[in-house]
């Protein structure tokens, strides 16, 4: 059985069955295990502080939503969870982010290893200009899986998990670029699932989609939540109430330096179970946002 | 951070180290190869520049740049000789070529971008202008030979025609790129004030793109100044200064370098290096000026 | 935008429509001038074909089809078969491509994907410097420095591969010469690298960064990202860039003329002297007359047609791939 020989992971092994369960993984730890532990995390782009002192815990097998007005750092925090901000010159992270106890930004931690475990779905679907099959197989291939039968299995599994299999099973060789918006996004989700990540980050995945496609993806999120931890940035508050277990509300830091109006530093205002955030928020800013008076 | 065996009920800390082994190695090898590629190409450049400077600098002097060209057998510097006629020739032939090619080239770009629009003719012209940049310089020389020299004899003018044909598509292409970058709302604003199309183009569009257009033209001139082949068939390399562009054979630095490169006489080599240095300096100066113009005066860039 | 003269309702002797305005002569004149300038491109191309065809008709008719495909070029015997020159052009250009393509692609990837902007910019200037050096200077350096230096190296290689089957016919002696197909290939490679690099860079730079992020987000290394996200997008454009470089190599006259040697022979020995189409025209034209001259012009026409076709092909490929990317 092929196991990527470079992976010395604790709980993640390539599955051996086609059903998509992960028999190599241990029995579920108690619900609520911490996947991410953010401790006073600030993210800078050069001299500009995009978000300041975020502290929160993200829990396993939950859907956590980041909401808040534009420009207050939600996507910045999301991207720092899989070190995508490393791609931006001048970006740096202060504070500590632990992923299941391991320091995400430790010197010996490698971004490629991080991203293998923490996948990301983008706002605008970005299928590669390859066939549907090759899109999905890309991730496993770079991790060393070459056998066609294994890849076939993985492709089918991932497409089933992304609720796309029935629609494309007869045209796996066709280009991924020919899919509709909603299908393309599900393709990207399937592609992400194909590498068997632990966490799936989603940056406004439905913002470019119509309501029906949005609904299908939201259903998808509920289905896969038992196997993955999901963090989603969304502008759509109804979506947050529909899908998420916990919600983090971000806003802009109150006027730190009057006169410097072009620098908006984001701050985490409140983080709680979704029902509390929306029905019974503790902070007045949260209250103002969720009742529509702000943002 | 060692995460190895799985203990049910106990969660191990994941190992986030580099996916070691072949993946990282391949990445590093590829990056190394790319760096090597750059070194490979830098070496000849450095060599050429170093040699040209080293061997040519000895020959350069005011006398070299202005003195008459000696008969071949004479060593460099004999009797106050130099490359004067060639310098004059390069300047006047290239200058006149620029005088023809620049207005025509810019106008051609104006046609394609401002007037032609999406019409078939304009797309054909644009495509063919691109294709024309690939016509070998020797073909241009032959062309002017057959169409002009056979009827009117060798002259600097013929050389200018040949160089202008070379420069034309280059100038069309670079000017077109610059015109395309001028935002449309500038044009709209001018139309809204009741200006005619020619006025809009001349008073608003061209001035907005002038930085980029000028620098593109300078680069085309630099290229033309260094061309040899078109001149071989049109100016009939001679040794004396000919300020009359329109009649009689002429000479140029590039042609002289070529002639001296194959000449077995003593002193020819030194002359060739000296002329080469002069030519390179001219080309570099034009290029640097073009860069400065791009940096300072170009309002709209990609 | 000019307003059209409005044909208002017929008024016998009344005033013209208040908004009527004849398009001024200057405006129409300018438009005409621009059109003429544009058409000049087509006119020149056609004239090139026509005038060279005319001047070489003499040779074409006398050489016939069989003579055209012969490689026998013997001036005194009035034999003007051009194939030796075609061969030399093709061989030296292929050698140039083999050397230049990996180098150019490597550099363009280095500049677009690996190096940060600040470091990449001076390197782009260096490449531009390379492009500005006139071809005759490359030729001068080639014939005075490179050729003597390579002469000895070729000799050593030739004695080294003596007797080994394929290698001997490619790199063997005994008539190796510093001025040879291979040397021409080297010089041509140096000269076409800047253009292939800069065109490839343009193509690679248009790959949408969101695609690259998608690959990184799957845990790809940079090289894997290039293979998965960048290359499929840019391969068409890069192929076009390579073809344009090929056209440039085939048409390069002076540098090749100085270092390729001057023997119109068809031989597999890459270290032997050869000849190329543009080199032949440049070097032989001076003393040529009559059918000789006509033959040289004919070769020029041949060169024109070949480079035209290569460039047409290249531009079509580049256009097609650019359109595909815009559509995606």
Closest-CA residue to C203 (of C103, C132, C112): C112
Q: Do A33 and B11 touch (CB under 8 A)?
A: yes
Question: Would you call B39 an interface residue with chain A, using a CB distance cutoff of 8 Å?
Answer: no
| Partners of residue B47 in chain C, C-beta under 8 Å | 141, 145
Distance from the Cα of A244 to chain B's closest Cα (Å) equals 25
Residue B298's SS3 state is coil
Distance from the Cα of C251 to chain A's closest Cα (Å) equals 35
Closest-CA residue to C132 (of B251, B138, B41, B286): B286
**Where does chain A show beta strands of DSSP type E?**
34-45, 48-59, 63-67, 91-99, 102-103, 118-121, 199-203, 229-233, 246-252, 266-273
List all residues 6 or more positions away from B288 whose beta carbon is below 8 Å from its beta carbon: none
Q: What is the pLDDT of residue B2?
A: 33
Q: Do A10 and B18 touch (CB under 8 A)?
A: no
Distance from the Cα of A120 to chain C's closest Cα (Å) equals 6
Of A29, A100, A112, the CB nearest to B19: A112
- Tokens 């999901």 label which residue? A230
Q: What is the pLDDT of residue A255?
A: 57
Of C211, C217, C228, the CB nearest to A84: C217
DSSP assignment of C163-223 equals T-HHHHHHH--SS--SSSHHHHHHHHHHHHHHHHHHHHHHHHHTS-HHHHHHHHHTT--HH
The model's pTM: 0.81
Question: pLDDT digit string (tens) for A216-241?
Answer: 999 999 999 899 999 999 998 889 99
Touching C: which chains, 3+ CB pairs < 8 A? A, B
Q: What is the pLDDT of residue A30?
A: 44
| Residues of C (32-91) whose Cβ lies below 8 Å from B | 33-42, 44-45, 47-48, 51-52, 54-55
Other CB atoms within a 10 A radius of the CB of residue A294 amount to 14
| Residues of B (121-140) whose Cβ lies below 8 Å from C | 121-122, 124-125, 127-140
CATH code given to domain B84-297: 1.10.3720.10
Q: What is the pLDDT of residue A17?
A: 39
| Partners of residue C30 in chain B, C-beta under 8 Å | 197-198, 201-202
| Residues of B (266-285) whose Cβ lies below 8 Å from A | none
Q: Do C217 and A113 touch (CB under 8 A)?
A: no
Of B3, B9, B23, the CB nearest to A8: B3
Separation of alpha carbons B200 and B177, rounded Å: 18
- Provide the CB-side half-sphere exposure for A162 (13 A, CA): 29
Question: Would you call B23 an interface residue with chain A, using a CB distance cutoff of 8 Å?
Answer: yes
Q: What is the pLDDT of residue A1?
A: 39
Please answer whether residues A225 and A240 qualify as being in contact, where contact means their C-beta atoms are separated by less than 8 angstroms: no
Distance from the Cα of B10 to chain A's closest Cα (Å) equals 8
DSSP assignment of C31-97 equals HHHHHHHHHHHHHHHHHHHHHHHHHHHHHHHHHHHHHHT---EETTTTEE-THHHHHHHHHHHHHHH
Q: Which residues of A touch B (CB under 8 A)?
A: 4-12, 24-27, 29, 33, 99-104, 106, 108-110, 112-114, 116-117, 142-144, 198
With respect to CATH, is domain C60-327 assigned 1.10.10.60?
no
Return the residue of C nearest to A111 by Cα. C219
Distance from the Cα of C176 to chain B's closest Cα (Å) equals 20
Q: What is the pLDDT of residue C294?
A: 86
| Partners of residue A4 in chain B, C-beta under 8 Å | 19
Return the residue of A nearest to C327 by Cα. A177
Q: What is the pLDDT of residue B101?
A: 95
Touching B: which chains, 3+ CB pairs < 8 A? A, C
User: Which two tokens mark C313?
Assistant: 């092909």
Structure letter (DSSP) for residue A176:
G
Distance from the Cα of B2 to chain A's closest Cα (Å) equals 8
Q: Do A10 and B13 touch (CB under 8 A)?
A: yes
Q: Do A128 and C208 touch (CB under 8 A)?
A: no
Closest-CA residue to B212 (of B184, B176, B247): B176
| Helix-, strand-, coil-residue percentages of chain A, each rounded to 5 | 35, 25, 45
Given pLDDT bands bounded at 50, 70 and 90, which one contains residue A293? low
Distance from the Cα of A259 to chain B's closest Cα (Å) equals 30
| Partners of residue A120 in chain C, C-beta under 8 Å | 213, 217
Question: Would you call C149 an interface residue with chain B, using a CB distance cutoff of 8 Å?
Answer: no
* CA distances in angstroms from A49 to A254, B50, B277, C66, listed in the order given: 14, 48, 53, 77
> With a cut of 0.90, is the ipTM above it?
no
Q: What is the pLDDT of residue A248?
A: 94
Residues in chain B predicted with pLDDT less than 50, given as ranges, are: 1-10
Size of interface A-B (CB pairs under 8 A): 83
Question: pLDDT digit string (tens) for B260-284?
Answer: 887 777 677 888 888 889 899 999 9
Separation of alpha carbons C289 and C292, rounded Å: 5
Of C37, C126, C221, the CB nearest to B111: C37
Of C214, C219, C233, the CB nearest to A112: C219
Of B38, B201, B279, the CB nearest to C137: B279
Separation of alpha carbons A263 and A253, rounded Å: 10
Of A120, A129, A188, the CB nearest to C232: A129
Please answer whether residues C56 and C295 qualify as being in contact, where contact means their C-beta atoms are separated by less than 8 angstroms: yes
Residue A21 has pLDDT above 70, yes or no: no
Give, for all 328 residues of chain C, the pLDDT tens digit.
444 444 444 444 455 565 666 667 778 888 899 999 999 999 999 999 999 998 888 888 887 777 778 777 777 777 777 888 888 899 999 999 999 999 999 999 999 988 888 888 888 888 888 888 999 999 999 988 888 888 888 888 888 888 788 777 778 777 778 888 899 999 999 999 999 999 899 889 888 888 899 999 998 888 999 998 899 888 888 999 999 999 999 998 888 888 888 888 788 888 888 888 898 888 888 777 778 888 888 889 999 999 999 999 998 888 887 777 655 4
| Residues of B (14-33) whose Cβ lies below 8 Å from C | 19, 23-24, 26-27, 30-31, 33
Tell me what the pLDDT averaged over chain A comes to: 83
| Partners of residue A33 in chain B, C-beta under 8 Å | 11
């Amino acid at each position: 059985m092929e196991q990527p020989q470079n992976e010395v992971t604790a709980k993640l092994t390539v599955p051996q069955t086609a059903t998509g369960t992960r028999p190599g993984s241990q029995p579920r730890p108690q619900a609520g295990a911490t996947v991410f532990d953010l401790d006073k995390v600030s993210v800078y782009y050069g001299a500009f502080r995009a978000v300041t002192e975020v502290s929160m815990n993200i829990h396993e097998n939950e859907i956590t939503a980041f909401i808040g007005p534009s420009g207050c750092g939600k996507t910045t925090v999301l991207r720092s969870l899989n070190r995508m901000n490393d791609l931006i010159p001048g970006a740096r992270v202060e504070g500590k982010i632990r992923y299941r106890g391991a320091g995400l930004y430790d010197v010996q931690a490698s971004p490629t290893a991080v991203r293998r475990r923490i996948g990301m779905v983008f706002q605008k679907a970005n299928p590669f200009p390859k066939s549907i099959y090759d899109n999905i197989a890309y991730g496993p291939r770079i991790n060393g899986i070459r056998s066609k039968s294994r890849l076939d299995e993985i492709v089918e599994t991932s497409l089933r998990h992304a609720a796309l299999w029935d629609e494309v099973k007869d045209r796996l060789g066709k280009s991924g670029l020919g899919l509709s918006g909603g299908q393309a996004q599900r393709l990207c989700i399937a592609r992400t699932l194909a590498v068997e990540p632990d966490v799936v980050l989603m940056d406004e995945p439905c913002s470019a989609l119509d309501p029906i496609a949005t609904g299908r993806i939201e259903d998808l999120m509920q289905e896969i939540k038992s196997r993955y931890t999901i963090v989603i940035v969304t502008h759509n508050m109804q979506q947050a109430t529909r899908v998420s277990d916990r919600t983090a509300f971000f806003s802009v830091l109150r006027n730190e330096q009057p006169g410097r109006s072009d620098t908006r530093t984001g701050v985490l205002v409140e983080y709680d179970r979704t029902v509390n955030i929306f029905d019974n928020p503790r902070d007045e800013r949260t209250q103002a946002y969720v009742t529509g008076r702000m943002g | 951070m060692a995460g190895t065996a799985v203990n049910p009920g106990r969660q191990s800390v994941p190992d986030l180290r580099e996916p070691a082994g072949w993946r990282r190695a391949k990445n590093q090898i590829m990056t190394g190869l790319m760096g090597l590629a750059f070194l490979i190409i830098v070496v000849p450049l450095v060599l050429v520049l170093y040699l040209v400077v080293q061997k040519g600098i000895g020959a350069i002097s005011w006398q070299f740049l202005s003195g008459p060209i000696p008969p071949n057998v004479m060593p460099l510097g004999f009797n106050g000789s130099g490359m004067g006629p060639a310098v004059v020739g390069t300047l006047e032939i290239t200058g006149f070529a620029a005088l023809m090619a620049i207005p025509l080239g810019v106008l051609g770009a104006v046609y394609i971008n401002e007037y032609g629009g999406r019409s078939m003719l304009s797309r054909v012209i644009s495509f063919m202008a691109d294709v024309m940049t690939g016509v070998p310089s020797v073909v241009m020389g032959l062309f002017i030979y057959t169409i002009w020299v056979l009827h009117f004899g060798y002259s600097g003018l013929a050389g200018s025609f040949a160089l202008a044909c070379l420069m034309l598509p280059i100038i069309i292409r670079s000017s077109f790129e610059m015109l395309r970058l001028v935002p449309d709302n500038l044009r709209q604003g001018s139309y809204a004030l009741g200006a005619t199309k020619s006025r809009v183009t001349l008073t608003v569009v061209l001035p907005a793109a002038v930085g980029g257009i000028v620098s593109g033209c300078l680069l085309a001139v630099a290229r033309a100044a260094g061309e040899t082949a078109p001149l071989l068939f049109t100016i009939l390399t001679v040794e004396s200064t000919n300020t009359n562009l329109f009649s009689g054979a002429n000479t140029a630095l590039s042609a002289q370098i070529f002639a001296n490169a194959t000449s077995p006489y003593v002193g020819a080599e030194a002359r060739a290096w000296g002329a080469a240095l002069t030519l390179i300096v001219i080309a570099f100066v034009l290029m640097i000026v073009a860069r400065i113009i791009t940096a300072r005066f170009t309002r709209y860039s990609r | 935008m000019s307003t059209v003269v409005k044909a208002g309702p017929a008024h016998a002797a009344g005033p013209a429509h208040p908004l009527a305005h004849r398009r001024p002569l200057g405006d129409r004149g300018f438009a005409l001038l621009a059109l003429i300038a544009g058409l000049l491109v087509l006119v020149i191309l056609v004239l090139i074909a026509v005038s060279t065809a005319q001047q070489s008709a003499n040779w074409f008719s006398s050489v016939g089809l069989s003579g055209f495909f012969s490689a026998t070029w013997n001036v005194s015997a009035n034999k003007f078969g051009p194939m030796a020159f075609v061969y030399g052009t093709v061989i030296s250009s292929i050698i140039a491509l083999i050397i230049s393509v990996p180098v150019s692609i490597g550099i363009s990837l280095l500049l677009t994907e690996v190096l940060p902007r600040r470091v990449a910019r001076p390197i782009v200037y260096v490449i531009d410097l390379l492009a500005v050096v006139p071809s005759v200077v490359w030729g001068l350096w080639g014939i005075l420095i490179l050729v003597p230096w390579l002469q000895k190296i070729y000799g050593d290689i030739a004695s080294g591969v003596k007797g080994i089957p394929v290698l001997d016919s490619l790199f063997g002696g005994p008539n190796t010469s510093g001025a040879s197909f291979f040397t021409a290939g080297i010089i041509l490679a140096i000269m076409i690298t800047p253009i292939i690099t800069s065109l490839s860079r343009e193509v690679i730079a248009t790959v949408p960064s969101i695609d690259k992020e998608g690959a990184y987000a799957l845990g790809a290394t940079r090289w894997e990202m290039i293979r998965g996200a960048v290359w499929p997008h840019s391969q068409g454009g890069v192929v076009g860039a390579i073809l344009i470089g090929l056209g440039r190599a085939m048409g390069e006259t002076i540098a090749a003329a100085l270092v390729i040697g001057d023997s119109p022979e068809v031989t597999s020995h890459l270290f032997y002297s050869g000849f190329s189409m543009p080199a032949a025209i440049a070097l032989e034209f001076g003393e040529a007359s009559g059918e000789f001259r006509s033959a040289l012009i004919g070769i020029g026409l041949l060169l024109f047609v070949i480079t035209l076709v290569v460039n047409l092909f290249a531009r079509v490929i580049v256009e097609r791939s650019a359109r595909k990317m815009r559509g995606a």
